[in-house]
Structure 1
Amino acid sequence: MNRREIILNEIKENPQNPFNYYLLAVEERSTGGITSSIEILYELKLNFPDYHPTYYTLAELLYQSDRNTEATAVAEEGIIKAKDLQLLKVSRELEQLILLND
């Protein structure tokens, strides 16, 4: 069983754990599936909006794909969410990501 299959099995066994979906997106990214990774992260953001790692990774991939307006919107959404959750370090990292890419 390869890494992707293991992650998919974990998702099947525990579909309410956002970390497993995040792992799948990272795995897709590492094997060159940028588009697939972006799709998984959008789905993750939709289904688990408080899972903060999604916003940075998704925005970063969108910037890498020259989808800057979309990336900035995702990062800004993540900043608002992080501030709501009192995750100031996360909001600063997202702000820096925008500054580095605009």
Structure 2
Amino acid sequence: MNNDRIQQLIRFVQEEPDEPFNVYALAMEFLNGRPTEAKTYFDQLLAQFPDYLPTYYHAAALYTDLDERDRAAELYEKGIELARAQNNQKTLLELQRAQQAFDDDDDEW
């Protein structure tokens, strides 16, 4: 995790509050080292920019890692619906595969 990059991304978010990519980039920067902060930014994206499709895959995976499986399942479903609505076949397939792996893992419990 690069603190200089985080500070730069925070400035970008402040300068362009209507640009979802900046919030997404900030969430991704926090993802590996500080998942609680990543979750905060993913939640912000989901609330402010629910049509920003890249959010769903990574947010659902994070919620899975945090053992918040109901929220993860909800995000996979919403992401799949959004990918269909946006006719984004590549992301649809990625989300469906991730959801299948998630469901298969759930079956093992």
Measured after TM superposition, the shift of residue 3 of structure 1 is 1.0
Give the partner amino acid of 1:61: L
Establish whether residue 70 from structure 1 lines up as the match of residue 109 from structure 2. Answer: no
Measured after TM superposition, the shift of residue 67 of structure 1 is 1.6
Aligned to 1:23: 25
Stretches (4+) displaced over 4 A: none
Q: How many residues align?
A: 101
User: CA–CA distance in 2 between the matches of 1:98 and 1:83?
Assistant: 15
Aligned to 1:61: 62
Measured after TM superposition, the shift of residue 34 of structure 1 is 0.6
User: CA–CA distance in 2 between the matches of 1:50 and 1:83?
Assistant: 12
Establish whether residue 92 from structure 1 lines up as the match of residue 70 from structure 2. Answer: no
TM-score, L = length of structure 1: 0.92
Give the partner amino acid of 1:8: I
Q: In the TM superposition, what whole-angstrom CA distance separates every residue of 1:27-83 from its partner, at most 9, and x where no partner exists?
A: 1113x2111111210110111111111000100111111222210110100111111
Tell me the secondary structure at the aligned position of residue 86 of structure 1.
coil
Aligned to 1:44: 45
RMSD of the alignment, in Å?
1.3
Residue identity over aligned pairs, in percent, reads 33
Establish whether residue 8 from structure 1 lines up as the match of residue 10 from structure 2. Answer: yes
User: CA–CA distance in 1 between the matches of 2:13 and 2:49?
Assistant: 14
TM-score, L = length of structure 2: 0.86
Q: Which runs of 5+ in 2 are unaligned?
A: 104-109
Using the TM superposition, name which of 86-95 and 14-23 deviates more: 86-95
